[in-house]
Amino acid sequence: MKDQKTTLEAFRSLAPIEPRELVGLWQGRGIPAGHPLDGVLENLGWFGKRFNLDRRADPLLFRAGERHLVAINPKWIPIRLALRLHAVGRTRAARNLFSYLLRRLRARGPVASVQTDVFAGVESAVMVYDHQPIVDHFRRIDENRVMGAMTITGDERIYFFELERIQES
């Protein structure tokens, strides 16, 4: 596992990306770097993110069965509590409870906006959540992969993740 500083340096070394280049479906995975949420999203069945042409996005897509994805609305998730109880989020009980709550957390449409902003000294695409103090910053790894850095207002820690473009069928 890398630490926050090393992972942030790797993120800073990557090229910026334009919002239009993110359009499509992306499968995600966390990059362990000492953040409390490391491993939590994967345990809960996180699939990734979807970006639309109109610069709106589904920031949290979860698996519901083998072939179905559900976009959830993160406004119902108490993020500060989730950070404090992160160890619980990696348990089987949390996974079971979350799968039960998935339908109730379902979004009624995209719940984030994509724009550009400056982070770590470079202007690049960001995704701003509508009802949470969360911003995902993006940098290009290659044509089909991006690295993300999720920041939460009031918390200096960064959750790092990678997204890989998926060809939708």
Give the class (CATH, top level) of 4-166.
Answer: mainly beta
Contact indicator for 50, 32 with CB cutoff of 8 Å:
no
**Which residues of the chain are modeled with pLDDT < 50?**
none
Tell me how crowded residue 12 is: count the other CB atoms within 10 A of its CB. 13
pLDDT at 1: 60
Angle at the Cα of 105 from the Cα atoms of 104 and 106, rounded to 5 degrees? 95
pLDDT at 103: 86
pLDDT at 134: 96
Give the whole-angstrom CA distance, residue 151 versus residue 159: 7
Determine the residue type at 35. H
Quote the pTM value: 0.93
Instruction: For residue range 86-122, list pLDDT tens digits in order.
Output: 889 899 999 999 988 988 999 999 999 999 999 988 9
How many percent of the chain have pLDDT more than 90? 80
Q: Helices (DSSP H) in the chain: which residue ranges?
A: 4-12, 40-43, 79-84, 92-101
Residue 98 in tokens: 């979350």
